């Protein structure tokens, strides 16, 4: 049977009890987060739950890999706050739909593979920063509003909240040592809920954040003027949202690949995420992307198939339609405890153990990416800065590797055998290798162990050949690969070099399929 969806792949062993329980646990942790970010952005609270239902269901069925959970994530919502404040909700919905279109095109043109350019230290920094953000967002639940002002809990309310959180954490830690038949996170939520309900304990509940009662997501075409001016307003926000969503999504996909030791499909994930955001734009959702915290909750509960994501999405819809009175009574302390454990599990503690065993530049990358993630909550910017810095570090290290072996043959010709890549960062070192004034009348530059890589390299060759030409000396380039020769041929307008042909020399071409 040809595999269409992993859920229906009969060769895959699916533990249906584990998948269902994992899905229920994920739904419980997703509800307060989606509501919180919707309120933070100034959206109607239900928009967060609609986004979690739509994004969760579409990506669970059509996404790039089993086990990933998508929903109304704060990473993408934060990008729309300014648009909400300046132009209102209708423009936000249009921007979400357009972001979905952009993501679909990125997937169709197979651009998702560029996530492979993210180095491992950047991944460490991203994950560690996100773990800190998750933890800090839970600490905020220890605050309350008194006389219109936000203040920390004190006295009995603080002791109750702290005690229930501690109980939740204890259950999550110790229950797996007794049994792994059910997810410890779900058991912790249920136990704390029953304890609060039957003992009549007065503590903060989901209802204190927002009501979760409503109807089926309504179809709604954004009421905005159809014009180029409108496009110029929403397009920048859509592009940023699409970039942030795909960055977090593909990084999450890579993380799940490592945890499960399996391979996901980044381009398929782009298309699924884009489709879900298009629907969000027309069904009153605030948009979303894969949620790393909920994904880790899902994986820690034992899920490895698509069913848990489907169950989580449908559970959220059922709660919105019918189960709000019960869910609104769930203590926030239980959800806070679960998410604190997720934050602890998300943090790459191994990155602290190897801090003295890896290059300092890698340690710097981990720290700077984590700091940007924590301070700005901008995952895309953090990763982009990390990738750019990593590329600059690599260029600097590669530039130092260029060297030349020099000798004069029996015919009095000076040979320079170049080792290492010739590119923008190594051109200065390359030019310094030559002794133009003292060299003989004829010079051969041998590129058998080197490579002319870019325009800066061509300019460097032009500089060195011009220096020899001015004092009447000849320069020959030998053993250039076919692509290097083609690069020089294309630059004949600015450089005139003598390329020596060697009919016996063959270049071995390595091809890498992606």
pLDDT at 429 exceeding the cut of 60: yes
Average pLDDT, the chain: 84
> Looking at the predicted structure, is the pLDDT value of residue 497 above 70?
no
How far is 436 from 465, CA to CA, in rounded Å? 10
Please compute the mean of the pLDDT values over residues 272-284 and round it to a whole number. 95
What is the per-residue pLDDT for 11? 58
Dist CA 35 CA 73 (whole Å): 10
Strands (DSSP E) along 162-231, which ranges? none
Predicted pLDDT of residue 435: 92
End-to-end CA distance of the chain: 26
Region 109-117 average pLDDT = 75
Q: Is the pLDDT higher at 503 or at 39?
A: 39
Could you tell me which residue, 367 or 134, shows the higher pLDDT? Answer: 367
What pLDDT does residue 496 have? 52
Alpha-carbon distances, residue 286 vs 52, 77, 278, 379, 440 (angstroms): 9, 7, 11, 18, 72
Give me 306's structure tokens: 């698509």
Question: Where would I find the beta strands (DSSP E) of 188-331?
Answer: 289-290
| Out of 124-138, 289-303, 445-459, least confident range | 124-138
| Res. 493: pLDDT tops 50 | yes
Average pLDDT over residues 505-509: 37
Q: What is the pLDDT of residue 506?
A: 39
| Residue 196 parent element (H or E) | helix 184-199
Q: What is the pLDDT of residue 39?
A: 73
Overall average pLDDT of the 443-460 stretch: 86
- What pLDDT is attached to residue 77? 80
Do the beta carbons of residue 144 and residue 333 sit within 8 Å?
no
Q: Look at residue 445 and tell me whether its pLDDT is greater than 80.
A: yes
What are the residues facing 310 on neighbouring strands? none
Instruction: Look at residue 255 and tell me whether its pLDDT is greater than 80.
Output: yes
Is pLDDT of 6 > 50? no
SS3 string of 371-382? HHHHHHCCHHHH
Q: What is the pLDDT of residues 178-222, one digit of tens each?
A: 877 777 888 888 899 999 999 999 888 888 877 777 889 999 999
Report whether pLDDT(2) > 60. Answer: no
Most confident of 269-283, 439-453, 484-498: 269-283
Asked whether residue 357 carries a pLDDT value surpassing 50, the answer given is yes
Q: Is the pLDDT of residue 504 over 50?
A: no
Portion of the chain with pLDDT greater than 90, in percent: 31
What is the average pLDDT across 379-386?
77
Work out the angle between the directed axes of helices 360-376 and 120-139 (0-180°, nearest 10): 30
477 has a pLDDT exceeding 80: yes
Q: What is this structure's pTM? A: 0.70
- Residue 276 makes CB contacts below 8 A (sequence gap 6+) with 54, 55, 57, 58, 59, 70, 100, 288
How far is residue 121 from each of residues 27, 364, 366, measured CA to CA in Å?
31, 9, 5
CB-CB contact of 292 with 346 (8 Å):
yes
Helix, strand, or coil (residue 3):
coil
User: What mean pLDDT comes out for the span 100-117?
Assistant: 84
Task: Please write the tens of the pLDDT for every residue from 137-174.
Answer: 788 888 887 777 778 888 898 999 999 999 999 998 99
Residue partners of 147: CB distance under 8 A and separation at least 6: none
């Amino acid at each position: 049977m040809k595999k269409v969806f992993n859920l229906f792949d009969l060769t895959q062993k699916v533990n249906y009890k584990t998948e269902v329980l994992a899905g229920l646990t994920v739904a419980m942790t997703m509800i307060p987060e989606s509501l919180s970010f919707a309120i933070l952005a100034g959206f109607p609270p239900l928009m967060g739950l609609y986004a979690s239902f739509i994004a969760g269901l579409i990506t669970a069925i059509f996404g790039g890999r089993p086990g990933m959970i998508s929903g109304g994530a704060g990473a993408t919502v934060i990008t729309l706050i300014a648009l909400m404040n300046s132009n209102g909700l209708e423009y936000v919905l249009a921007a979400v739909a357009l972001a979905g279109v952009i993501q679909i095109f990125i997937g169709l043109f197979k651009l998702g593979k560029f996530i492979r350019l993210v180095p491992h230290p950047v991944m460490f920094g991203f994950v560690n920063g996100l773990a800190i953000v998750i933890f800090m967002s839970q600490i905020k639940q220890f605050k309350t509003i008194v006389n219109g002002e936000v203040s920390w809990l004190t006295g009995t309310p603080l002791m109750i909240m702290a005690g229930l959180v501690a109980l939740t954490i204890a259950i999550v830690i110790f229950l797996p040592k007794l049994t792994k038949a059910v997810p410890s996170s779900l058991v912790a939520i249920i136990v704390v809920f029953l304890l609060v309900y039957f003992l009549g304990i007065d503590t903060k509940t989901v209802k204190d954040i927002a009501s979760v009662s409503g109807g089926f997501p309504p179809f709604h075409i954004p009421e905005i003027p159809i014009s180029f001016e409108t496009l110029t307003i929403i397009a920048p926000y859509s592009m940023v949202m699409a970039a942030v969503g795909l960055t977090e999504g593909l990084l999450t996909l890579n993380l799940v690949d490592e945890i499960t030791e399996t391979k996901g499909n980044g381009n398929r994930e782009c298309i699924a995420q884009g489709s879900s955001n298009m629907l969000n734009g027309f069904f009153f959702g605030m948009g979303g992307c894969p949620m790393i915290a909920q994904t880790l909750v899902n994986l820690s509960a034992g899920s490895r198939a698509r069913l848990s994501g489907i169950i989580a999405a449908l559970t959220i819809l059922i709660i919105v339609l019918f189960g709000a009175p019960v869910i609104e009574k769930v203590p926030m302390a239980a959800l806070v405890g679960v998410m604190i454990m997720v934050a602890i599990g998300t943090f790459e503690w191994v990155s602290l153990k190897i801090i003295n065993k890896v290059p300092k530049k890698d340690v710097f990358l981990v720290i700077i990416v984590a700091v940007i993630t924590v301070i700005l909550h901008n995952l895309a910017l953090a990763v982009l800065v990390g990738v750019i810095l990593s590329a600059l570090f690599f260029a600097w290290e590669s530039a130092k590797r260029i060297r030349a072996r020099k000798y004069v043959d029996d015919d009095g010709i000076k040979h320079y055998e170049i080792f290492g890549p010739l590119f923008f960062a190594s051109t200065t070192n390359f030019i310094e290798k030559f002794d133009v004034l003292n060299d003989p009348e004829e010079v051969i530059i041998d590129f058998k162990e080197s490579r002319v890589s870019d325009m800066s390299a061509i300019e460097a060759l032009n500089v060195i050949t011009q220096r020899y030409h001015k004092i009447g000396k000849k320069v020959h380039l030998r053993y250039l690969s076919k692509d290097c020769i083609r690069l020089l041929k294309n630059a004949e307008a600015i450089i005139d070099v003598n390329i020596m042909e060697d009919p016996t020399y063959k270049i071995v071409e390595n091809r890498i399929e992606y």
